[in-house]
Chain A
Amino acid sequence: MLNKPDQLLREAKALLEKATGEADVEAVRIGFFGKKGKLTAILRSMGALSQEERKELGLRANRVKEEIESLIAEKKREISATLRSARFSAEKLDVTEPGRRPPIGNRHPITQTIGEIVRIFANMGYSVTEGPEVETVFNNFDALNAAPNHPSRDLTDTFYITKDTLLRTQTSPVQVRTLRSAAPPIKVISPGRCFRTDAPDATHSPMFHQVEGLLVDEGVSMTDLKGVLDLFAKRMFNENVVTKFRPHFFPFTEPSAEMDMSCFVCGGKGCRVCGGSGWIEILGCGMVHPNVLRVGGVDAERYTGFAFGMGVERIAMLKHGVGDIRLFYENDIRFIRQFG
């Protein structure tokens, strides 16, 4: 009798060994611990034994009970782990399937480029100011010191609405409007559409965008101009580009310059993007001509300033490797989406 518990333990071990599901384990539990369980039966039968035997059997039975319980728990864990692992296998995904993307649109690449230029200058304290696309001849040419017979005034170069109004050929008339409406210090950036009578081809468009910049204050010098534009080139392209200023001519600035930038692709060694020269022409600039300040009602002795203008399409084409300006205005969704 006293050996019965150990016998049951061996029996339970064997059964659990064979168990494969949770039900098997439960059957073992009931088989031993249920109302009609084998171990329950032993405990019930103890009344017939002597006190010592009862004590001894009790101890043994309890030890065996604990042991079997722990074996059952262990088996349950084992089975549950197996089941989970089977479920995980069944739920396995092919992670190489494509993701399902939210339908997000994007801005036109020209808007993006303007946004980037504006952000850079806004961080340097420039406010956006805008002017109309249809301008007066006075604002577009006369007030900007353009010679009365300058070829750019011709019908072959400029779209006219009347003899006194035209489609602005540059964003520079915003300089005139700003100088007339505000007092120095003036610090503005002006993006917008411009128009010239170029038939569309890979590098020309009758409509294009410029961003104009203007700073007028006391004590502004050409070194300040270089500083701002050098910083701009680094922010717009990358920190390693270096800039070069070449004398040039614009009627509304004096001294005038063109800024070249070391090629952001090859770093100046020469490549396809820079045409092998290592340099890329990026914008025109200069110190605001005293005549322009005067026409704008600004004291040209007390105040000096600089202005600059850049072609947005050109910068977008350079930056994104777009070879044909017409793509911007065809608006093929496959093109636009590439800038999302």
Chain B
Amino acid sequence: MLVPITWLKEYTDIEEDAVAFAERMILSGSNIETVKTFGEDVMGVVIGRVLSVERHADSDHLLICRVDVGTAAGGDAIQIVTGAPNVSPGIVAPVALHGAVLPGGVKIRRGKLRGVMSEGMLCSAEELGFDDKVTPLSGKNGIWILPDEFEVGADASEALGLRETVVDFEITPNRPDCLSILGMAREAAAVFGGALRYPNAKADADGGKAASDFIKVEIARPDLCGRYVARIAEQIVVRESPWWLQRRLMFAGMRPINNIVDITNYVMLEYGHPIHAFDVRTIAGGVIIVDTAKDGETFVTLDNTVRTLSGDMLLINDREKGVGIAGVMGGLNSEIETDTETILVEAANFNSASIRRTSKALGIRSEASSRFEKGVSAELSGAAADRVCALIAETGAGRIVGGAVDNYPGKAERKPVSVRVARVNALLGTALARNEMANMLKRLEMEVAAAENVLRVIPPHVRVDLCEEVDFIEEIGRMYGYDRLGVTLHKDSVEAEQSRSWRLRELARDVLTGAGLCEIQTYSFVSPGGVDRIALPPDSDRRNFVRLINPLGEENSVMRTALLPNMLDILSGNFSRSNAAVRLFEIGNTFLNAERDALPKERISLSIGGYGSWGFFELKGVIETLLERFGIGGATFESVSDTGTYHPGRCARISIPHADAGGSEAVCRSGQPKTEAGAQPGEVGLMGEIHPDVRAAFDIGTEAWGAEIDLEYLIGRANPVRRYTPLERYPAVVRDVSLLTADEVTVGAVERIIRRTGGKLLEQVRLFDVYRGKQIPEGMKSLSFSLTYRASDRTLTDEEVAKTHEKILGAIAENTGAGLREI
């Protein structure tokens, strides 16, 4: 809301300078976006009248003008060369003389233009600091043609009042009353303690005809139109508005059009109440009927656009046709024309929700509709209509017809609200006396009656936001000043405890970052194509998306069912930027469709991805470490070749021992096709090298590794509390062994045999080498293990160790055919 300070000062006294004014208004709740000063640096600009215009001999667009600038340039008319196409003899315009300074410090000097001397410059409104949006259309693409009311030669800065401070207030949606100069004056008066002066809204005529002789009003939908005030003005002369009025509109951000339109806009800005004016001769039957439109009815609005209306839109009709879309935009058929003689001034109150729906459906957002949407007090309609009439009379725009047609079905009694003194102090943490509170409210034009420990308050009718006790407590709080409230800490005995899920996610982050991975965060909404790109099978339940009705685009149109596609996108982005050795993880929710009406199932997932000096076993090691830190033992990694997402020979399904309790947890969570056996008990996810085709689909030009793990399941199963085991006191015996086995024999299988056979004495098995090549026959490999034997109660003898070791080797040979390899 743009508020020119000189306009505001008409209604209340403000002594503070702009800085102090802004500061105190902000602290009282009227936040300020900007404070802009106009015309401060303008110098040497005078009012001039163009006497004659001639073509420039050497130019097809330059004109040579003789301009009367009174005594400003020594008494003679001066010669100015201009390119403005709208210049003509007789017009009045601002003239920057030699030596003048324009906004922004632009200096004007005399000089020759194509050989012809120009003693100054004819100015446009923009050159004097106004925005193109607010300048009169007569000056479009040219010089500013001023009203004919100025003395030639006068200082333009003085005459036009170019010096102004305009404050742009940020008006919160609960304060539609502040979308007006008077509303802001009410705030300022309350803050600075000045009186509030209302403008002259007396516009009565003695005798003669009355408004009701011209017009009748019927409200067919009192639920949508709570009040309709109509006044009449005749002998209208449509012309330019007086400068003082134009000036205020321009500084307040509106373009002057003509006196009637300007006056309705002026009153809208002044009171915050939208006004519409109809040409009475176009109102058939002399009747205004406020009713909803017929479904599909077409109507041409002021902007010469055909609108198709629906049955819930409120329309202003006469006996035959629609003449205006209520509160949104008038009709072309009833517009004020230059020959309009009699006008109907409409100040009506329309239902805010209805106006909002209509304005949205039609895509029209006017100054009027935006005010009605937020709520306008019906009590204001009478005064606003009167004020329009007073201005019409005052500016000589026409003659006022006495009386008003005022249909007010929505009149409501304003009941006082009880505000308990103790409650105010309890909520604000203050110790204010009843009278202090009452005075603060009275400053805001509230009627306050005090009784015992209670104030009974009736707010001004424009304050549609004040309904219950707490609303008045806020008013007292902001009038007192939040800055004056104390600073305390509430005393309680509440202790903080973070949830298990939160703590374990933090643990996962600690482990993963400690393992050298960086965390990423990606959008929860994704492209549905991501699951195709990771080649999920057509029947995967991860294709059953939670969809947005109104996504920003296809690429953000569904909630993610897996984190891996985003992970691969981010790997791709990093690869394209030549970032080397990237290892990442993300912890976030996946969304699976639930039963109708229920919210989707949100499940915490973990994705890991990386490329560059990394590999399957580095990734596996990270996952093993995570499981270990979560206290989850016995995880298995089982080769899977049919995922589509991963390299068929380099993919593992990760499972952990199945928990019997709450068996329903044991569903297939990886999103991979269910095997014949059905759900995999204890399965927590998949890991592996990303399939070359999938990599290609993501434009990752190097081997990449990835995993997606059901972190929520791990959180449920985690047991990170450690128990101490006594440190061993007797020495260990370490035996290394190299085995020659067929390629198909897995390390896992050999390890299981070793553990099973080794029994109590075998403390640890560690694979330290896998070798194929020289000295190893085709189709075979050499596996080297380091076996640690130890007893907790004695030093083992060589015989004991040898016995167990032989037993192990025997078992391996028997079960896998592997033999000892001579090194």
Contact = CB atoms under 8 A, between A and B. Distances in A.
Contacts of A230: 487
Contact of B549 (A118, A136, A155): A155
A253 to B, nearest CB: 9
Interface stretch (B262-270, B474-482, B695-703): B474-482
B516 A167 contact: no
Given A207-B524, A224-B489, A167 B548 contact: yes
A148 interface: yes
Interface stretch (A17-25, A34-42, A50-58, A191-199): A191-199
Given A106-B518, A187-B492, A332 B574 contact: yes
A244 interface: yes
Contacts of B552: 197, 199, 206
Given A106-B518, A161-B547, A206-B552, A246 B27 contact: yes
A222 B28 contact: no
Contacts of B516: 102-105
Contact of A149 (B353, B470, B513): B353
Interface stretch (A1-9, A75-83, A125-133, A265-273): A125-133
Interface in B473-519: 473-474, 477-478, 482-483, 485-490, 492-499, 501-502, 506, 509, 512-519
Nearest to A155: B550
Interface string A292-335: 00000000000010000000000000000000000011111110
A110 B471 CA distance: 36
A128 B516 CA distance: 27
B429 interface: yes
Contacts of A89: none
A162 interface: yes
A99 interface: no
A173 B494 CA distance: 22
Contacts of A155: 549-550
B356 A125 contact: no
Contacts of B477: 222, 247, 255
Interface string A223-253: 1101110110000000000001111110100
Interface in B525-565: 525, 546-552, 556, 559
Contacts of A224: 429, 488-490
Contact of B550 (A185, A197, A290): A197
B175 A249 contact: yes
A44 B647 CA distance: 90
Interface in B296-312: none
Contacts of B495: 125
Contacts of A148: 353
A165 B548 CA distance: 10
Contact of A289 (B470, B499, B599): B470
B679 interface: no
B31 A248 contact: yes
A331 B429 contact: no
B427 A304 contact: yes
B589 A331 contact: no
A104 B513 contact: yes
A165 B523 CA distance: 19
B583 A222 contact: no
Contacts of A123: 496
Contact of A159 (B360, B470, B551, B582): B551
A180 interface: no
B746 interface: no
A200 B495 CA distance: 40
B429 A129 contact: no
A116 to B, nearest CB: 13
Interface in B80-118: none
A133 B524 contact: yes
A63 interface: no
Given A159-B550, A219-B426, A333 B521 contact: no
A147 B427 CA distance: 24
Nearest to A254: B470
Contact of A245 (B426, B483, B599): B483
Nearest to B170: A248
A217 interface: yes
A13 interface: no
Given A104-B513, A105-B518, A129-B499, A227 B353 contact: no
B29 to A, nearest CB: 3
A97 interface: no
Contacts of A161: 546-549, 559, 600
Nearest to B512: A105
A150 interface: yes
A220 B524 CA distance: 37
Contacts of B600: 132, 134, 161
Interface string A114-153: 0100100111111111101111100000000001111100
Contact of A330 (B486, B573, B591): B573
Q: Which 10 interchain pairs have the tightest Cβ spacing?
A: A247-B29, A223-B429, A221-B429, A249-B172, A103-B516, A255-B474, A245-B482, A224-B490, A105-B513, A331-B520
Interface of A: 102-108, 110-111, 115, 118, 121-130, 132-136, 147-151, 154-155, 159-162, 164-165, 167, 185, 187, 193, 195, 197, 199, 206-207, 215, 217, 219-224, 226-228, 230-231, 244-249, 251, 254-258, 287, 289-290, 304, 328-334, 336-337, 340
10 contacts: A134-B600, A147-B173, A155-B550, A217-B494, A221-B426, A249-B175, A255-B427, A287-B427, A332-B579, A333-B584
